[in-house]
């Protein structure tokens, strides 16, 4: 930035008396950095396009915040989407988007970098660019306007936002953020800027497009065929990559971040110390985009986990630590790690450990007992599918007895409330599969009644949205009517079951998520239409409005049928074909065929490689301390893990002997605990 | 065993809620490795007891918190009251600052129960000094001052007058209430906390009721309508004292039958005996 930005605090302060939760806008978190902006320093505003409470805990943003601020030639501040009342107050007082640390105007920064973790925040991204005072469309920005960047999981189909974002960054950000800063620093102090070259913005963007992992939409041409179908997205320049590959850090142990996790003054979601156990997951759940795009598995060394936990608790004063990953029970030596934290004398027996995203088949009753020693956090199990057939299709190979044993362990350890997560609208799903959800949940209630007079089981049901870079990317999403019918089926079947509650995600919101998830560049006009008609905070049910989305589609001559419900075909050009998460398209297609054939696929971290491309393409490999899978459940008993390779294994659909739910002795029977899912 | 702290809440942190402040205290006390007493049950929490909640947005020079210690662990680790305020101040966020800490007996009533009134200074935007003075006189002279108050989400009518123990336009010397920009007018008040505490905005509502009874609904509006003679808007409010009135004496909650900082129990007992 050019050094002459002034704090907007005197204009912001009078607004705070009028708005809800004014402390969202004051900064002052433990770990917040007061940076100095100088002409030779690249200034970054890292923006989470949702409310402060949702955005502040985001670990990706915090990691980049620290890495940038450790550099002498970079300075990073943070911003979050002002809540609707504050936005109205800001617009009426002429106050632009500002940073929470220095209360500096967003448009004074060199870079506005958005974290995109979900699709329904896209309209907020447009709103924040506008609130910053920048042109919403990238083509309208002039030479020295702030560069708008975006990273995060949702960037694996960047096309719907390609009209608004100058630069996308794919994959792990730890290394590439420094390379981008180098390019920005060179241009900031370079001759083109000094002589006022009118094409200096284009030159900067072109230089950025040559950084591996960086996608600059304006460097690509989009072609459509006579039927209006996408024909291809191709580079405009010889030195622009035809296919942009994601970045992958080889060793998580080299990046022990965040070192100074932010501790907010107000309560936020996930308000606790978070330590990342490992990145990536190769369980291979076919619906799970996070698992597909973050391969391979890279574990953090156990010693580093211990150090980060003890130093983090000491520094923050938190009394809860979450050991995070996409499937925390798969971490080598998870029991020792959890037990070590709870028994650490420095924790005075008052620190609880939570393990979000646990599989029921990889967690022992011993650890279930461990985690409730301090305080009993919420317990969530995620079978995802109601029948074994369904779970083979989605490759979530949890047997009924795994789930029942886990639930039994939980109830026997004193829990009285259990939450189950399911998806509906999965490929090949029949009503028998849907109703299997109630059958499973009903059995869980019955197990609970053995231990307590009154138990509560909640089955939380979400509509499935096919995600890009997964084997289900070709699948036509269920219609709103079909999802609603399935919800009613579940509701009616569950009504007579005392102790069972069904909760469901609004099928209309599922449809809207589907609109943006797999769209091509033309979807940008739809997003802009929704935003211009007041559609912000669309992931919040009180502001979500499907009518805005369908009207926007109609205005662009598009339909839900084509954009969301249509099955994609094998040889169709997909809007994200020029973006790579490392996975070969033929691997994904084969996995899609396997899914339809109800074939499961074992986890490649403990079995031979399938050559999905994530390791071989990037010269990286799994970093796993244990060569064997965790004990318990289907991983320890029923599966033939010796096979792999070309021919997928058909798993046993009946229980092996000796694994009855009542047998909870020893450490080999599964249980699961946690509060969330991958 | 309990420790009672008196602390201030000033600056940007005034926009945090009472509940936020409680969590800041919990984290600071854990970082200081205080031998805290925890509640029983499946979700144990440190036993902290704050007095009357300070409205979000208000500052204070007189906040109190009682922190219960685990007697066994306190015995082993020891707690140095003389160094404790400085140690904790280094761990509390900017804007929260402990002034004093004393030991209080476990059986003593909670702060919530014993505090009878609070002193406030306020800065108002809108009226001139003379106009405010007229409103203050009118309120003090009125037998009843009926205002709408929100209680458990419902609006109800209530008489404010018995809760206003003292009210005056601030002297130029009362610098807490005087705005250096001259944009605002200062007000000082003592407001009863029994049976219900009065919030500064409710006092303002009373002042508006006695001068312009129809203007109720505009007082929480934007603070930038600074025209002389317009409806008063609260710019800043600061609680300056909390009082315990008993047997005709008004006492500050850290005093009374408690052990002052830096003296041990035996010495204090001697002082009382002498």
Residue B30 near chain A (CB below 8 Å): yes
Considering B113, B131, B150, which residue would you say is the last residue of a domain? B113
B258, part of any domain = no
Q: How many domains does chain B have?
A: 2
One domain, residues B142 and B63: no
Smallest CA–CA separation between A157 and chain B, in Å?
A: 39
What average pLDDT score do residues A30-52 get?
Answer: 96
Give the dihedral sign, CA A244/A245/A246/A247. Answer: negative
What average pLDDT score do residues A211-239 get?
Answer: 97
Residue B230 confidence (pLDDT) = 64
Least confident of A117-121, A318-322, A344-348: A344-348
Residue A657 confidence (pLDDT) = 34
Query: What is the overall mean pLDDT for chain A?
Result: 89
3-state helix, strand, coil in chain A (%, to 5): 35, 15, 50
> Which of A405, A383, A404, A407 minimizes the C-alpha distance to A395?
A383
Residue B45 confidence (pLDDT) = 87
Residue B17 near chain A (CB below 8 Å): yes
B250 band by pLDDT with thresholds 50, 70 and 90: confident
Residue A2 confidence (pLDDT) = 53
Residue B95 confidence (pLDDT) = 97
B113 band by pLDDT with thresholds 50, 70 and 90: confident
Distances (CA, A) of A458 to A401, A419, A434: 19, 5, 15
What average pLDDT score do residues B103-127 get?
Answer: 85
Distances (CA, A) of A592 to A242, A258, A425: 25, 37, 16
B30 with A16: Cβ contact below 8 A: no
Distance of alpha carbon A452 from alpha carbon B131, whole angstroms: 67
Considering B95, B113, B131, which residue would you say is the last residue of a domain? B113
Per the model's pLDDT, the better-predicted residue between A548 and B104 turns out to be A548
How many CB pairs below 8 Å do chains A and B form together? 75
B94, part of any domain = yes
Residue A95 confidence (pLDDT) = 98
Residue B176 confidence (pLDDT) = 57
Residues of A in contact with B27 (CB under 8 A): 263, 316-318
Residue-wise DSSP of A387-429: SHHHHHHTT----HHHHHHHHHHHHHTT--EEEEEEEES-TT-
Strand partners, B243: B117
Q: What is the largest CA-CA distance in chain A?
A: 79
Distance of alpha carbon A131 from alpha carbon A148, whole angstroms: 13
Helices (H), A302-354: 302-316, 334-343
Residue intervals in chain A for CATH 3.40.50.2300: 9-245
A449 band by pLDDT with thresholds 50, 70 and 90: very high
- pLDDT exceeds cutoff 90 at A73: yes
B181, part of any domain = yes
Residues A135, A139, A140, A145, Cα dihedral to 10°:
70
One domain, residues B104 and B69: yes
Least confident of A211-220, A414-423, A485-494: A414-423
Residue B104 confidence (pLDDT) = 85
Residue B22 near chain A (CB below 8 Å): no
Assess: ipTM above 0.85.
Answer: yes
Distance of alpha carbon A140 from alpha carbon A318, whole angstroms: 46
One domain, residues B40 and B137: no
Most confident of A305-309, A649-653, B1-5: A305-309
B224 with A14: Cβ contact below 8 A: yes
- pLDDT exceeds cutoff 80 at B61: yes
Residue A376 confidence (pLDDT) = 66
Residue A678 confidence (pLDDT) = 32
Distances (CA, A) of A591 to A243, A425, A468, A473, A585: 22, 18, 14, 11, 10
One domain, residues B79 and B130: no
Query: What is the CATH architecture assignment of A9-245?
Result: 3-Layer(aba) Sandwich (3.40)
Distances (CA, A) of B25 to A350, B48, B70: 16, 9, 17
Residue A373 near chain B (CB below 8 Å): no
Smallest CA–CA separation between A496 and chain B, in Å?
A: 31
B191 band by pLDDT with thresholds 50, 70 and 90: very high
Distance of alpha carbon A399 from alpha carbon B113, whole angstroms: 57
Least confident of A65-79, A568-582, B240-254: B240-254
Residue B246 near chain A (CB below 8 Å): no
B186, part of any domain = yes
- SS3 of A431, please? helix
B260 band by pLDDT with thresholds 50, 70 and 90: very low
One domain, residues B130 and B237: yes
- pLDDT exceeds cutoff 50 at B224: no
Residue B109 confidence (pLDDT) = 75
- pLDDT exceeds cutoff 80 at A3: no
B16 with A314: Cβ contact below 8 A: no
One domain, residues B163 and B186: yes
B42 with A414: Cβ contact below 8 A: yes
Least confident of A257-261, B81-85, B249-253: B249-253
Distance of alpha carbon A604 from alpha carbon A615, whole angstroms: 11
Q: Provide the domain limits for residue B22.
A: 2-113
Percent of chain B clearing pLDDT 70 (strictly above): 81
Least confident of A374-388, A653-667, B44-58: A653-667
Distance of alpha carbon A480 from alpha carbon A565, whole angstroms: 10
Distance of alpha carbon A328 from alpha carbon A12, whole angstroms: 42
Distances (CA, A) of A273 to A276, A320, B23, B159, B163: 10, 6, 14, 48, 45
One domain, residues B53 and B171: no
A4 band by pLDDT with thresholds 50, 70 and 90: low
B108, part of any domain = yes
B211 band by pLDDT with thresholds 50, 70 and 90: confident
A540-564 pLDDT tens trace? 999 999 999 999 999 999 999 999 9
Q: What are phi and psi of A636, to 5 degrees?
A: -100, -15
Percent of chain A clearing pLDDT 90 (strictly above): 75
What average pLDDT score do residues B36-50 get?
Answer: 86
Distance of alpha carbon A155 from alpha carbon A217, whole angstroms: 12
B31, part of any domain = yes
Residue A639 confidence (pLDDT) = 46
Name A671's Cβ contacts closer than 8 Å, sequence gap at least 6: A360, A363, A364, A365, A367, A368, A405, A406, A408, A409, A410
Distance of alpha carbon A442 from alpha carbon A448, whole angstroms: 10
One domain, residues B85 and B188: no
B238 band by pLDDT with thresholds 50, 70 and 90: very high
Residue intervals in chain A for CATH 3.80.30.20: 272-522+558-636
Residue A5 near residue A92 (C-beta atoms within 8 A):
no
Query: What is the overall mean pLDDT for chain B?
Result: 82
One domain, residues B119 and B242: yes
One domain, residues B50 and B128: no
One domain, residues B85 and B97: yes
What average pLDDT score do residues A570-585 get?
Answer: 97
- pLDDT exceeds cutoff 80 at A638: no
Question: Could you tell me the CATH number of the domain that includes residue B65?
Answer: 3.30.70.580
Per the model's pLDDT, the better-predicted residue between A466 and B224 turns out to be A466
Residue A30 near chain B (CB below 8 Å): yes
- pLDDT exceeds cutoff 80 at A671: no
Residue B226 near chain A (CB below 8 Å): no
Spell out the CATH class of A272-522+558-636. Answer: alpha beta
**A175 alpha-carbon distance from chain centroid:** 20
Residue B265 confidence (pLDDT) = 30
A637 band by pLDDT with thresholds 50, 70 and 90: very low
B155, part of any domain = yes
Give the dihedral sign, CA A601/A604/A607/A611. Answer: positive
B251 band by pLDDT with thresholds 50, 70 and 90: confident
Residue A354 confidence (pLDDT) = 84
Residue A660 confidence (pLDDT) = 33
Closest in A17, A348, A414 to B57, CB measured:
A17
One domain, residues B75 and B159: no
Residues A49, A50, A53, A57, Cα dihedral to 10°:
-40
* Count of Cβ atoms closer than 10 Å to residue A343 Cβ: 11
> Which of A100, A111, A115 minimizes the C-alpha distance to A60?
A115
Residue A625 confidence (pLDDT) = 85
Residue B159 near chain A (CB below 8 Å): no
Residue B178 confidence (pLDDT) = 61
């Amino acid at each position: 930035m050019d050094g002459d930005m002034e704090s907007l605090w005197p204009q912001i302060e009078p607004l705070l008396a009028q708005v809800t939760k004014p402390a969202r806008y004051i900064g002052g978190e433990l770990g917040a950095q007061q940076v100095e902006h100088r002409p030779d320093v690249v200034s970054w505003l890292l923006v989470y396009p949702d409310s402060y409470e949702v955005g502040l805990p985001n670990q990706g943003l915090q990691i980049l915040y620290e890495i940038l601020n450790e550099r002498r030639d970079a300075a990073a501040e943070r911003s979050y989407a002002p809540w609707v009342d504050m936005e109205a107050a800001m617009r009426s007082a002429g106050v632009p988007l500002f940073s929470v640390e220095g209360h500096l105007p967003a448009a004074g920064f060199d870079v506005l970098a958005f974290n995109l973790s979900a699709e329904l925040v896209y309209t907020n991204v447009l709103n924040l660019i506008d609130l910053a005072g920048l042109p919403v469309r990238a083509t309208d920005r002039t030479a020295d306007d702030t560069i708008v960047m975006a990273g995060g999981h949702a960037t694996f189909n960047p096309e719907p936002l390609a009209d608004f974002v100058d630069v996308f960054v794919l994959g792990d950000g730890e290394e590439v953020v420094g390379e981008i800063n180098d390019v920005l620093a060179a241009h900031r102090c370079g001759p083109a800027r000094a002589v006022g070259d009118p094409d200096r913005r284009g030159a900067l963007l072109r230089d950025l497009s040559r950084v591996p992992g960086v996608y600059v939409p304006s460097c690509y041409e989009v072609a459509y065929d006579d039927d209006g179908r996408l024909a291809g997205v191709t580079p405009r320049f010889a030195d622009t990559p035809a296919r942009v590959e994601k970045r992958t850090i080889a060793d998580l142990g080299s990046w022990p971040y965040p070192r100074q996790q932010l501790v907010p003054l107000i309560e936020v979601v996930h308000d606790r110390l978070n330590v990342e156990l490992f990145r990536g997951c190769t369980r291979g759940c076919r619906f799970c985009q996070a698992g597909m795009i973050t391969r391979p598995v890279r574990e953090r060394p156990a010693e580093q986990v211990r150090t980060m936990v003890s130093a983090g608790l000491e520094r923050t004063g938190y009394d809860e630590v979450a050991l995070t990953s996409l499937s925390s029970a798969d971490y080598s030596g998870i029991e020792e790690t959890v037990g070590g934290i709870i028994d650490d004398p420095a924790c005075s027996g008052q620190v609880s450990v939570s393990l979000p995203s646990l599989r029921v088949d990889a967690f022992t009753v011993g650890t279930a007992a461990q985690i409730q020693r301090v305080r009993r956090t919420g317990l969530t199990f995620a079978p995802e599918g109601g029948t074994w057939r369904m779970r083979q299709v989605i490759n979530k190979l949890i047997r009924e007895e795994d789930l029942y044993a886990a639930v039994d362990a939980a109830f026997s350890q004193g829990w009285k409330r259990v939450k189950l997560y399911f998806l509906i609208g999965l490929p090949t799903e029949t009503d028998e599969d849907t109703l299997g959800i109630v059958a499973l949940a009903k059995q869980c209630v019955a197990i609970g009644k053995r231990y307590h007079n009154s138990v509560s089981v909640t089955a939380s049901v979400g509509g499935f949205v096919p995600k890009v870079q997964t084997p289900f990317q070709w699948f036509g999403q269920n219609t709103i009517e079909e999802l609603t019918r399935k919800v009613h089926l579940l509701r009616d079947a569950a009504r007579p079951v005392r102790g069972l509650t069904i909760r469901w995600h609004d099928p209309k919101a599922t449809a809207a998520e589907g609109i943006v998830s797999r769209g091509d560049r033309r979807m940008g006009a739809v997003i802009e239409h929704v935003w211009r008609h007041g559609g912000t905070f669309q992931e919040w049910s009180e502001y979500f409005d499907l009518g805005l989305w369908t009207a926007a589609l109609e205005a662009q001559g598009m339909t839900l049928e084509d954009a969301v419900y249509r099955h994609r075909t094998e040889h169709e050009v997909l809007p994200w074909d020029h973006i790579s998460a490392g996975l070969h398209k033929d691997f994904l297609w084969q996995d899609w065929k396997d899914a339809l054939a109800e074939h499961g696929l074992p986890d490649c971290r403990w079995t031979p490689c399938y050559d999905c491309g994530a390791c071989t393409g990037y010269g990286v490999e799994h970093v796993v301390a244990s060569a064997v899978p965790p004990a318990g459940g289907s991983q320890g008993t029923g599966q033939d893990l010796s096979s792999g390779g070309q021919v997928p294994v058909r798993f046993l659909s009946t229980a092996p002997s000796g694994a009855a739910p009542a047998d909870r002795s020893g450490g080999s029977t599964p249980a699961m605990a946690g509060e969330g899912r991958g | 065993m309990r420790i009672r702290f008196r602390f201030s809440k000033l600056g940007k942190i005034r926009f945090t809620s009472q509940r936020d402040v409680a969590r800041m205290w919990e984290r600071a006390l854990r970082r200081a490795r205080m031998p805290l007493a925890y509640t029983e049950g499946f979700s144990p929490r440190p036993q902290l007891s704050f007095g009357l909640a300070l409205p979000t947005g208000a500052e204070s020079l007189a906040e109190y918190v009682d922190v219960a210690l685990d007697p066994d662990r306190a015995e082993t680790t020891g707690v140095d009251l003389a160094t404790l305020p400085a140690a904790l101040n280094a761990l509390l966020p900017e804007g929260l600052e402990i002034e004093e800490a004393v030991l209080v007996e476990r059986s003593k009533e909670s702060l919530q129960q014993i505090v009878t009134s609070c002193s406030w200074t306020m800065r108002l935007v809108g009226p001139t000094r003379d106009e405010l003075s007229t409103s203050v006189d009118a309120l003090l002279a009125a037998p009843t001052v009926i205002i709408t108050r929100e209680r458990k989400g419902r609006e109800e009518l209530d008489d404010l007058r018995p809760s206003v123990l003292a009210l005056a336009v601030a002297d130029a010397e009362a610098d807490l209430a005087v705005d250096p920009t001259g944009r605002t007018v200062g007000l000082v008040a003592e407001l009863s906390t029994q049976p219900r505490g009065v919030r500064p905005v409710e006092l303002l509502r009373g002042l508006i009721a006695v001068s312009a009874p129809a203007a109720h609904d505009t007082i929480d509006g934007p603070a930038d309508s600074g025209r002389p003679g317009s409806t008063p808007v609260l710019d800043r409010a600061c609680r300056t004292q909390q009082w315990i009135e008993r047997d005709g004496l008004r006492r500050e909650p850290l005093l009374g039958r408690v052990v002052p900082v830096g003296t041990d129990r035996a010495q204090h007992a001697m002082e009382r005996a002498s």
